[in-house]
Amino acid sequence: MATGENMLDAEALMKAASAAAGQAYAPYSRAMVGCALISGSGNLYRGCNVENASFGLTICAERNAIFAGVAAEGAGFRIARLAVIARGLEFPPCGACRQVIAEFADADVLVCFMSGGRIETMMLRELLPAGFKFELI
Ligand code: THU
């Protein structure tokens, strides 16, 4: 948990994500990815990507951060803000992670990522305008 910083601030959250990227296990892609999020309860959770020799078993940094939040807070876990950063790469969360973010976040939640050397912030509804919902008809 960071102290003395407003972790809802995009730069502070990016710093926490960057520290998490240092923990990445990425011997195959060499892409060191880190994610930091603030939960609805105000707690900070971090995650890094963890790869596997069976490539499809790899888990992204965002999902690891989210699952750490659920493990700590239980089914009431919600995302207030999320940031992702990689070393030497720039990208918004992948499609799979957008869907998982949507499970725990309102459509207006802000997602921060690097683009063109600066922090880009987009609402979840912009990143995932038509996500899957489990609604029986
Ligand atoms: N990766 C993430 O951690 N988050 C994303 O949103 C996209 C990709 C990781 C997975 C893999 O370890 C590496 O980046 C290259 O795809």
Kindly state if the Cβ of 62 falls inside 6 Å of ligand 1: yes
φ/ψ of 75, rounded to 5, equals -65, -15
Whether the per-residue pLDDT at 12 is higher than 90: the answer is: yes
Q: Please indicate, yes or no, if residue 47 is contained in any of the structural domains.
A: yes
Whether the per-residue pLDDT at 2 is higher than 60: the answer is: no
Residue nearest to atom 10 of ligand 1 (CA): 60
Please classify residue 64 by burial: count the beta carbons closer than 10 Å to its beta carbon, then call 0-12 exposed, 13-18 middle and 19+ buried.
buried
Kindly state if the Cβ of 19 falls inside 6 Å of ligand 1: no
Kindly state if the Cβ of 61 falls inside 6 Å of ligand 1: yes
CA distance 104 to 30: 29
Cα of 5 from ligand 1 centre, angstroms? 27
Q: Please indicate, yes or no, if residue 136 is contained in any of the structural domains.
A: no
Q: Which domain holds residue 84?
A: 10-127
Mean pLDDT of the chain: 95
Cα of 30 from ligand 1 centre, angstroms? 10
| Short-list 49, 136, 57, 64, CA closest to 100 | 64
Q: Specify the pLDDT at position 63.
A: 99
Residues forming beta bridges with residue 79, ordered by sequence position? 39
Output the pTM of the full model: 0.95
Instruction: Report the share of the chain in percent with pLDDT over 90.
Output: 94
Please report, for the domain that includes residue 14, its CATH number. Answer: 3.40.140.10
Instruction: Report the pLDDT averaged over residues 43-67.
Output: 98
Catalytic entry in 5, 51, 62, 126? 62
Q: Please indicate, yes or no, if residue 2 is contained in any of the structural domains.
A: no
Q: How far from the centroid of its chain's Cα atoms is residue 4's Cα?
A: 22
CA distance 37 to 20: 11
Instruction: Report the pLDDT averaged over residues 64-70.
Output: 98
User: Is position 73 annotated as part of the catalytic site?
Assistant: no
CA distance 124 to 95: 11
Q: Is residue 7 very low, low, confident or very high in pLDDT (cuts 50, 70, 90)?
A: low
Q: For the chain, what is the domain count?
A: 1
Residue 25 structure tokens: 């296990």
Q: Specify the pLDDT at position 6.
A: 74
